[in-house]
Amino acid sequence: MTLLQLNHVTRLYGTVIGVNDISLSLASGAHGLLGPNGAGKSTLLNLITGQLSPTIGSVRVLGLAPRSSHQLLQRIGYLPGSEGMYADVSAIEWVTYLTRLQGFGAYDAKTLALQALERVQLAEHMHRKISAFSRGMRQRTRLAQAIAHGPEFLILDEPFSGLDPIARHTMTTLLQQWISDGRSLLISSHVLYEIELLTRSFLLLSGGRLLASGAADDIHTLLANVPSEVRLRVDRPREMAAEMLRDNLIDSVRITDDGELHVTTTLSAQLSQFIGQTFLDERYCVTEVRSADDSLQDVFNSLMKIHRGIA
Amino acid sequence: MNTIQRIPAVFFFEWRRALTVPRLAWMLALMAFPPVLLWLVRATARSEPPIEIAAVLVYVLSPCVACMMSVFLWATPALSSELEGRSWVYLAVRPHGPLSVLLGKYLVAVSWSIPVGLVSSTAGVLALRVDEPVDLIVVQCALSVLSCVTYSALFLLIGVLAPKRAMVMGVLYAVIFEAALALVPAAVNLLTVQYRLRCLLVRWMDFDVSMVRRSDVLREYFGDESATWHVGILLAMTISYLVTAGVLLRYREFTAASETDT
């Protein structure tokens, strides 16, 4: 079943473009929404949750129009980017209240809220006022309100924001459990490694535009001709760079103040072979080589270069 | 479960949240100031005030000022407080959430303010020590209830119309329309709640305003319609304010720009 269908969606705030002509179709599963601050991630999530209407185009979530479908709101859970919790109530009161607004009776809502707080490991503290919670506890409470009514599609806006490493780990574990239960997830973040722990399917957004979408491997295919950067620590960087240029192995070269050699190349395999050979020949003393790995950060950086016309 | 069934959840939740010392102190202050002022008036007067004067004094201080201030403090920020606290988004993504919250908070404003009106009216009449106070108390209490019911809807609508400047707009509306224009004997005062309440005071207290009505200028000041008509108009105004606020909530986008990264 199609989880999300966006058809040429544009959202304007006056003359400012929030999202710009985005079309995509996502199947059920977990997806990451990536982009720097100001990329349009929250605008897109607001469109998906029906808080905003597209200026142009159409949005369908689980086959329904989010702005006009109460039925859809029963089926999604949303964790917004801003905190916005009532500080003067306890976690159980707040989650119960929001679950009641989902349409459950008082008893059922409290039972579901309790289960959700247990799931996020907050049952022990659920009678404490939210104002007394740490950032991580508040974030877990917010997750509890999103999952309490048993949605089939969970939408999270920057859920790791401001969390310490332990809280991040707890949140990641909870979301991994959610995904392993076979439910759908759309999670936005500008910290890429957090997403990589949850999914390999992602959407890259920048300046309101969708730069790329698909699995990480699909994106790598797009990047076949994009120069990748290699950094070396070597005893004679100038001579080595000259040799690389003479052999047409590199596109650009830079030597930093501390003597590190930065080169970009579209011939990664040949360059690797060259470096390995010089090491074997003991022509240069190479102490460190760092090259592009498979992380989304590199993919994202490369796509941004393409988008900005640098690559 | 539809909107109607969700309203009690909002009502009871907001009531529980409201039971704080500052809120209760405000409630007591609003209950107390009309009788205290009227007691001072009576203490300085040489004799018992005429019933007309007593009725007007209690009317101005209780159904007008105390009730209006109470509902103003409750209903006007109903939406803006959620937007400023960034909690609106949690309510907006619930089925029928915005309308349930609107109506639930309306009922909280009404139910919190009616006791203010009833206590201040009753105590105010008693403070004046008029003969046969029962009729006056009943009329002032009825006017207080109508004042709370209608003004709550009005200030709620103002809060939805201008959520970023809700309190300022509420004060401006109260001063310009309900305090100033309502006293102008022209067609514009027909649109105010004050006009209806004033007409009801005259009808229910059975005041003789024939002299005023004979004046061309003041003819429209107390109206010629029946009390039932005025009550009907007040209820119609209440419903129309609530419906308008509900429609605005349904179709306007209240997502704060600060909540988004773009």
pLDDT in tens, B173-215: 999 999 998 888 778 888 999 999 999 999 999 888 777 777 7
Q: Which domain holds residue A145?
A: 2-221
Q: At what angle do helices A237-246 and A268-281 cross, to 10 degrees?
A: 130
Question: Would you call A146 exposed, middle or buried from its count of C-beta atoms within 10 A (0-12, 13-18, 19+)?
Answer: buried
> What are the structural domain ranges in chain B?
3-251
Write the pLDDT tens digit of every residue in B31-57: 999 999 999 999 998 888 889 999 999
- pLDDT of B260 over the 50 cut: no
Clarify whether residues A229 and A203 are in a common domain: no
Of the candidates B5, B16, B92, which has its C-beta nearest A51's C-beta?
Answer: B92
In this prediction, residue A242 carries a pLDDT of 92
A273 and A172 housed in the same domain: no
Cβ pair B95:A73 closer than 8 A: yes
Does an H or E element contain A220, and which? helix A216-222
Asked if residue A234 and residue A263 are part of one domain, the reply reads yes
Q: Which of A174, A189, A221 is the last residue of a domain?
A: A221
Are residues A133 and A121 located together in one domain of the fold?
yes
A200 in the same domain as A181: yes
Per CB-CB distance under 8 Å, the chain A contacts of B95 are 70-71, 73-74, 101-103
What gap in Å lies between CA B112 and CA A142, rounded to an integer?
30
Here the CATH number for the domain that contains residue A253 is 3.30.70
Higher pLDDT, B242 or B190: B242
Specify the number of domains making up chain A.
2
User: Whole-angstrom Cα distance, residue A116 to residue A61?
Assistant: 24
Residue A25 shares a structural domain with residue A90: yes
Do A96 and A233 reside in the same domain of the chain? no
**Mutant choice from A12, A101, A141, A206 vs B, greatest count of B C-beta within 10 A:** A101
User: Do residue A40 and residue A159 come from a single domain?
Assistant: yes
* pLDDT-derived band at B58, boundaries 50, 70, 90: very high
Predicted confidence (pLDDT) at residue A250 exceeds the cutoff of 70: yes
Tokens of B63: 């159904």
> What's the pLDDT band for A224 if we cut at 50, 70, 90?
low
pLDDT of A227 > 80? The answer is: no
* Max intra-chain CA distance, chain B: 68
Of A195, A221, A247, the residue at which a domain comes to its end is A221
Asked if the model's pLDDT at residue A226 lies above 90, the reply is: no
One domain for residues A165 and A244: no
Encode pLDDT of B2-13 as tens digits: 778 899 999 999
Q: How far apart are CA A174 and CA A196, in angstroms?
A: 15
Question: What does the pLDDT read at residue A298?
Answer: 63
Whole-model pTM: value is 0.84
The one-letter code for the residue type at A80 is P
- Residue-wise DSSP of B219-250: TTTS-SS-HHHHHHHHHHHHHHHHHHHHHHHH
pLDDT digits (tens, 9 = 90+) for B245-258: 999 999 999 875 44
The residue from A221, A253, A286 where one domain ends is A221
Same domain, A241 and A215: no
How far are the Cα atoms of A32, B27, B33, B62, B138 from residue B123, in angstroms, in the given order? 63, 14, 10, 10, 12
pLDDT at A193: 75
CATH number of the domain that residue A130 is part of: 3.40.50.300
pLDDT band at A179 (very low <50, low <70, confident <90, very high): very high
Three-state secondary-structure class, residue A232:
strand
Give the per-residue pLDDT at A222. Answer: 65
Looking at chain B, the whole-number percentage of residues with pLDDT higher than 90 is 76
Reported as half-sphere exposure (CB side, CA atoms, 13 A), residue B142 has a value of: 20
Question: A118 with A36, same domain?
Answer: yes
- Residues A234, A291: one domain? yes
- Within 2-21 of B, beta carbons closer than 8 Å to A belong to 5-6, 9-10, 13, 16-17, 20
DSSP E strands, chain A: 2-13, 16-27, 30-34, 56-61, 76-79, 153-157, 184-189, 201-206, 209-215, 228-234, 252-255, 260-265, 286-291
